[in-house]
Structures are given as C-alpha cells and as structure tokens.
Structure 1
Amino acid sequence: MTFQVTVTPSGSQFSCEEGETVLSAALRAGVGLPYGCKNGACGSCKGKIVEGSVTHGVHQQRALSDAEEAEGGSLFCCARPNSDLKIEAREIVSGGDYPIKKMPSRVSKLEKLSHDVMLISLQLPANERLQYRAGQYIEFMLRDGKRRSYSMANAPHLDDQITLHVRHMPGGLFTDQVFSTMKERDILRFEGPQGTFFLREDSNKPIILLASGTGFAPIKALVEQLIHTESTRPVTLYWGGRRPEDLYMNSLCEEWAATLPNFKYVPVVSDAQPEDGWTGRTGFVHRAVMEDHAELLNYQVYACGAPIVVDSAKFDFTAMCQLPAEEFYADSFTSEADLVA
C-alpha cells in the first residue's frame, strides 16, 4: 500500500510505501525535510501530524515525549504512516541538491589531536569527488551491517580528501578500531553526504557557533566555508570542553581570531583542575553565550556536540534570549548509547 504525504506550509507532496518511514520517503523523493541521526535520538526531524496517523518506532523520550506525541508531534525518521498524511515541517529548500553516494576511501593519514581524539584523512577515488555542504556528515558502513556517523571537518573546496575528528569511546565498535588496529592505506566504505546541518548563506545575521567536544569538527568546516566565501558576517565561536586539552585545536581558533576581522573566539572549560592553570571562561559553554548575549533575536545559532549541550542551548536561547526557533540549527552528536530508548 502506498500513502500520500503532503508537507505544509510548502505544499510539497511525496509517496510513502507501507512500512517506510516518512523521512526515508522524503529523502527518496528529494524533499528536504530536516534530519540528523535518523535513529530517533536527536530530534532534528521533529514535526507535527496535521492529518492522518503514524506509528512510531523506538526513539528517545527527550527527542519526542509522550506528551508531545499526544499533541500531534512526530519524529519523521521513525514514523511510519497508517494513512495518507498532512504534516507540518520546515522544509529545507537546498538541503538535498547533492546526491547521496556509496563510496570507497583510503585512509591517508591518522593523527592524534589529543589523547582521545584522532584525525582521520580519507583519500577519495581519483575519478570521483564527494559533493557536500560544510557541516554535513558521512556514515561508515561496517562489516556487520552497522553504521557510524562522523561529520566532515573540512570545507568541500579545500582538496580531494575529507577529514574527520573521531573521539575514542572505549568499547566502541568503530572507535576501538580507530585507536588500535586501523592504519594508513586501510579501505573504508561510506555513504554520504548526510544531514541538513549547513550554513544558511541567504542571511546577513551575525552568527553564534557553539561547539562541545568533537562537535568542533563541522563547526570548523563552517568557518572554512565562511572564509572561502569572504563572508563579512560577524561570527563568534564558543567551544566548550571539560578540560583545556579537550579544546584540541585551540591554537587554530586563536589564529582565526587574530587574523579574521569579523571573528571572535571564546573557549570555555567546565571542569578545570588546578594543574591545568586555566585562566579563561568556566562553566557550561551555552551559558557563556547567554552571559555575553542577553538577547539573540537577530542572530543565527549553529550548535554541535553532545545532546545535552544542544538541547539545553536550544531551550534556553529560545526561552530566555528571544532567539527565533527557526534560527537555531543543530547537529546533535548521538552515540550508540543514545540510540537505546
């Protein structure tokens, strides 16, 4: 059985097969619904069922609570139609203009950026280039059928390689391999580009970039894109970590702040120890933003990192700082543990 899905307010329509998720059907049809993890954990694809009904698969309560679902809320990545649907969602006009490909790549470089963060450079096939937007991610296809997602840490114009920042999660199916047995010239297969986190270049609003941990990777790509396009928009980067060593490319950020006329950098450490000698900002990184910007009415915010950081920032910025909800763009870095309801 095939169901018809109509998106409001855009009016876009697409068909959804029985048992298929709304998001999968939209992507297949080239309709740009926002999404992130595709596993019911991050909440990026949240919208509303205006007419019809769906059955939701396993998902996190923080991404869609029972109360929200009772009021018509839906996570389109795990919602399967029971009827024709009319849904309310913020359609992304230019989100799906690069084809999603399955590609082989060769590990060309492994470099430890800190004790638990590895930079991986991937050499792409000589006759094929990955087209993507700064901020998007790829999914590695592992031998057991599982997948792991990582954001590109470089803007697409730079070279024929893509770089990733991988944090070691002890016991992690992929990251244990990265930090133990992976070596240069290994072949990895991935699918991408994925996600709808990318710079909205049709605005002149000042930008707040908010990163926690390796959420810096796609933020770095956004900065490189802004530099490439010679943007004059004011940009302030807030990067948070537990200890100073978690800000593993701090010197690069300081270089940007010293050389880019419209760029400011605010590093924030939440759990500095006496031996760190830290004299900078402390506390929660999104709170540092609020201390500096009581009002965000005329800003755009791009946030990446741990779900608790992204969720807290969105709630507090919109509730307390007047940030329009539609100007908060995020990529929540869910781990395998986050995908278990």
Structure 2
Amino acid sequence: MGNKRWRVCFEPSGVQFFAAADADLLSAAASAGIAVPFACKNGVCELCEARLLSGTALNTRNQQMIPVGARLMMCRTAALDHLELEISAVMAAGNNQPRKFQANVVDVSSLNHDVYRVELQLPRRRELSFHAGQYLSVNLPDAEPCYFSIASSPTEQNIELHIQASPEWLSAQKVIDALTSGESVNLELPHGKACLVCAPEKPLLLVAAGTGFAQMKSLVDYLRGTSFAQPVKLFWGARRHEDMYLRSMALQWEQDLPGFTFQPVVGGDEDSEWSGHHDQLVRAVLASGMDWSNVEVHASGSPTMVYTLMDALVDAGLPPEAFLSDVLEYAPRS
C-alpha cells in the first residue's frame, strides 16, 4: 500500500490525525495521542466503533470496501483516502464535561520548601477522560474550590498534582493539611481548554513560571507516548534556584528526548520583585530565535506573566490562535 498518509477527521470533535495506508486507524490514532476507547483490538468488543461519513476505507478483515454511512471498527479499518468519521467517544478540548469523583490519597511528599507532590487514585479511573494540560478542582467541605494543574499524563492510572503551599497561601495550605490527614478527597475534573487533544504538527514552546511546570510535565509525559517528532523547547522561570523543584527531571528530559531543550530562567536572589522576573522570562523566550509563524505556545503562570508573554510573541509574529493558556479563560482581559 506504500507510505501514503491520509488525513482522518473525527466528528463532532473536529480532531484530526494522519494514518498510513498500511496501519489500522486505531493504531494511527493512538500514535497521534488520541484516546479512542478499545479493549480487544480485533473487532469483537466494538468499543472503537465509528461511522464513515466520507472517504474510502478498507475492512482489513475481509478486504472489502466500507460503504459511506456504514459503521466500522477502527482496529480493523485502513484508510485509502482522506476520511471523515463520526465518533462521539473522542471529545475536543474543553468538551469533556467536568464530573465529580472521590479520590484516595496515595502519597503527599515534599519537593522543596513549599511545593508538595500529591498522588491521588480514582477508584473509577476508567470512567475519567481528560486531555494533557487540563486541570482539576479540589473541593473541601465549607471552602471554595481550589484549582490545580494535573501534572500526569492522561494515560497514567493515578493523578499527580504539584501544590505550592506557602504560609501566606492559606487555601493551598488547607488543602495540603486535608490531604495529609485524610484518606480521600472530592475532585471535579477536567477543566481547561489549553491542552493537547492529539500531537500537534508544529514545534512546541512551553513556558512555565513556578508550579506552572506541572502543566508542562503533563504535556511532555503525554507526548512521550506518541509519535510526536517536532522540536520541544521548555522555559521555566523561578525566583530562586531552590524554587525550581524538579529541575533534575527537566534536565533528564533534555538528555533522553530527541529535539527537547530546557532553559531555566532564574532571577537574582536579591531581587524579590516577581514582575521583574516575568520580564526576564519573556526576554529569554524572545531571544530563542524561533520561527514565530510556525510554533504552538503553551504558557502557565500568573496573568501578568502570561499576558506579557502573549503580547510580546504576537508582536514578534506569533498568530494569536497559536498561544494557549488557561489564563485567557479564567482571567480574561476586560
């Protein structure tokens, strides 16, 4: 069948990926990082069922063409043309409706002087679907929800959080106290549109300040399980060296992952003005010399940092739609 690659589009989500003619659609979707439900991979369980809306597809079990309008099993289908499929099990960014879950606390450990790594287990994990880069809320009794980025990949069984609980952040400290003393906690997830539904076709620029690194970890862990081959550059800004709580992990990524580069940006210890460090981080990103017309940017940090970075990159030639951050949703400009 050759090495021809065909574009496959899922409806109603609009999610797209490419499939080689000699690969089944389920494997091609998984290689692109798209979570299509499956169990058997031999056409029996019917979990990967879709309906052919347009294009030419082949049933690899009986070597017969699949008529438009017919249902198919993605694990037993190959693309012979660009395809449009109807499959409701794949959701676009932000379309997974948040649901409430009760999670068991597996571990709470200190990463540095005020950041904790929290590991949570969901008894109904198979019922949860989220995308890399999304976030959740921890809901304690008689308290406002507290929102944290999910630091783990959607393929992981447990949920990982990085929670900064300094003495002046009473709400976060209350969450840590509850997680440390309790056996379970109420969550609502997923939230957020600044995420990856599938592996992008452009190089990636990831920019994090402080515990914004958690969102970037979810993205990197997710991409490691796909066929993504574009360059990835991570900038991580912090006030002090000790605030970069998983610097060794980012350095290990740089050694292990082809095309991945990590640039830490640490402010001077004598300068406690966080806005100054934001400017320093933005200047470092601008100096990277990337082709701003062909890159996708994910940013996580305070509204001040995110909007300063966005304005600078758009002025440098970045298309506004290529800049993704949850800040644009929860703290929109008036």
With structure 2 as the length reference, what TM-score do the two structures score? 0.65
AA aligned to 1:101 is: R
Structure 2 equivalent of residue 329 of structure 1: 324
1:199 lines up with 2:196 in the alignment: yes
Match runs of 1:236-275 below 5 Å? 236-272=233-269
CA distance in structure 1 between the aligned counterparts of 2:150 and 2:178, rounded to whole angstroms: 22
Structure 1 contact 305–331 (Cα < 8 Å) conserved: no
Instruction: Give the count of matched residue pairs.
Output: 238
Secondary structure of the residue aligned to 1:183 is helix
CA distance in structure 2 between the aligned counterparts of 1:333 and 1:107, rounded to whole angstroms: 31
The change in CA–CA distance for 1:228 and 1:128 in structure 2 (over 3 A counts) is closer
Structure 2 equivalent of residue 170 of structure 1: 167
1:228 lines up with 2:225 in the alignment: yes
Which of 203-212 and 321-330 deviates more? 203-212
The change in CA–CA distance for 1:182 and 1:318 in structure 2 (over 3 A counts) is same
Structure 2 equivalent of residue 302 of structure 1: 298
CA distance in structure 2 between the aligned counterparts of 1:301 and 1:284, rounded to whole angstroms: 18
Secondary structure of the residue aligned to 2:186 is strand
Alignment equivalent of 1:316, drawn from 312, 316, 319: 312
The change in CA–CA distance for 1:96 and 1:312 in structure 2 (over 3 A counts) is closer
Alignment equivalent of 1:144, drawn from 142, 162, 170: 142
Secondary structure of the residue aligned to 1:318 is helix
Structure 1 contact 116–168 (Cα < 8 Å) conserved: yes
CA distance in structure 2 between the aligned counterparts of 1:208 and 1:323, rounded to whole angstroms: 11
CA distance in structure 2 between the aligned counterparts of 1:330 and 1:147, rounded to whole angstroms: 20
Secondary structure of the residue aligned to 2:153 is coil
**Residue 328 (structure 1) shift:** 0.2
CA distance in structure 2 between the aligned counterparts of 1:271 and 1:113, rounded to whole angstroms: 22
The change in CA–CA distance for 1:208 and 1:294 in structure 2 (over 3 A counts) is closer
AA aligned to 1:163 is: E
1:122 lines up with 2:117 in the alignment: no
Structure 1 equivalent of residue 183 of structure 2: 186
CA distance in structure 1 between the aligned counterparts of 2:143 and 2:165, rounded to whole angstroms: 21
Structure 1 equivalent of residue 206 of structure 2: 209
Note the alpha carbon deviations across 1:35-91, whole angstroms, 9 max, x for none: xxxxxxxxxxxxxxxxxxxxxxxxxxxxxxxxxxxxxxxxxxxxxxxxxxxxxxxxx
State the superposition RMSD in angstroms.
Answer: 2.8
Note the residue ranges of structure 1 that are not aligned, 5 or more in a row. Answer: 1-92, 275-280
**Residue 127 (structure 1) shift:** 6.4
Secondary structure of the residue aligned to 1:292 is coil
The change in CA–CA distance for 1:129 and 1:245 in structure 2 (over 3 A counts) is farther
Structure 1 equivalent of residue 156 of structure 2: 158
AA aligned to 2:121 is: Q
The change in CA–CA distance for 1:96 and 1:221 in structure 2 (over 3 A counts) is same
